[in-house]
Amino acid sequence: MALLEVEELQTHFFTSAGIVRAVDGVSYTVEEGETVAVVGESGCGKSVSALSILRLIPWPPGRIVGGSIRFMGRDLLGLSDAEIRQVRGRDIGMVFQEPMTSLNPVLTIGRQLTEPLEAHLDKNDQQARERALELLRLVGISDPQRRLGQYPHHLSGGMRQRVMIAMALACEPKLIIADEPTTALDVTIQAQILELMKDLTQRLGVALVIITHNLGVVARYADRVNVMYAGRIIETGSARDIYHDPRHPYTLALLRSVPRLDQPRRARLDPVEGQPPDLTRLDGGCPFRPRCRYAIQRCATDYPPLMETGPGHRSACWRKDDLEPPLRKAS
């Protein structure tokens, strides 16, 4: 049994402009201790699919309208409010994108760090404090004693994200969901934070779902990769598969839009042309086809399901076997 099994998840937003199908039938699994990356452009539904796991989508306007999410065999969507609260922070920790705004500005670091301990592990003040110190040391924050009494505005962005990670790890969860954990940080800090997360999750045996639009992150840190487009997973496979043998034109386009060290220096970067589709008006066909140079007649009428292209590697493209390799000659 996988640690997390997401099946046909559908999260829609009911807005005045119509129903936004932000997540529209997403299925994937996360094994214990595994690192899974979810990649895609802004607005492809990757954050919404992550927030849906802990049922953190605010209603109104958002709501999970279909599918199931099983964590250690329990259906999270069927739990009562009190039961899902027990899962949040204790079994599954979350790290958010913006460390600047994700910590409460008027509460001390200590207060915010000890909260999950008091909520889930029944620790008293003294024990919670000790654990908080231990956690701060774990995430590499210097002078933890002093930090406990400080407020978020005393800390740099990287430090705050370390605090967020410490908070997510507080109750020794089985899974951490990190929603673009490094997007808001300086490039030099990004690597530090990712190393820290990789190191800690490996050391503590925690599974990690990392949401990102950074393909570099994927290559280095993920065991498995789910590429999302317009609310669905369009390709899934090992990091190696995705990098060296992409089987979906969108994945291919993404790879060609970022510079790579293994490319000749004069290779041109190709941006992914066009805009992501309007999620309120999807038709039955493949949503990527207006931007796809491989599109054929069939793409307009039939939505391609995820089809096996190799062991553990699946793609939702009718022309998955006709794609060029990702490496190009210098122009």
> Which residue's CB is nearer to other proteins, number 20 or number 254?
20
Taking CB under 8 A as the criterion, which residues in 143-172 touch other proteins?
151, 153, 164, 167
Q: Which of 105, 259, 284, 311 binds other proteins (CB under 8 A)?
A: 105
> Which residue's CB is nearer to other proteins, number 58 or number 325?
58
> Binding marks (x or -) toward other proteins, 209..248, rule CB under 8 A?
----------------------------------------
Q: Which of 103, 141, 200, 286 binds other proteins (CB under 8 A)?
A: 103
Tell me which stretch binds other proteins (CB under 8 A): 12-20, 51-59, 199-207, 308-316: 51-59
Q: Which of 47, 102, 201, 251 binds other proteins (CB under 8 A)?
A: 102
In angstroms, what is the minimal distance from the CB of 147 to other proteins? 14
> Which residue's CB is nearer to other proteins, number 14 or number 294?
14
The full 3-state SS of the chain, as one line of letters, equals: CCCEEEEEEEEEEEECCEEEEEEEEEEEEECCCCEEEEECCCCCCHHHHHHHHCCCCCCCCEEEEEEEEEECCEEHHHCCHHHHHHHECCCEEEECCCHHHHCCCCCCHHHHHHHHHHHHCCCCHHHHHHHHHHHHHHCCCCCHHHHHCCCHHHCCHHHHHHHHHHHHHCCCCCEEEEECCCCCCCHHHHHHHHHHHHHHHHHHCCEEEEEECCHHHHHHHCCEEEEEECCEEEEEEEHHHHHHCCCCHHHHHHHHCCCCCCCCCCCCCCCCCCCCCCCCCCCCCCCCHHHCCCCCHHHHHCCCCCEEEECCEEECCCCCCCCCCCCCCCC
In angstroms, what is the minimal distance from the CB of 112 to other proteins? 8
Per CB under 8 A, residues contacting other proteins are 54, 56, 58, 60, 85-90, 93-94, 96, 98, 101-107, 115-116, 119-120, 151, 153, 164, 167
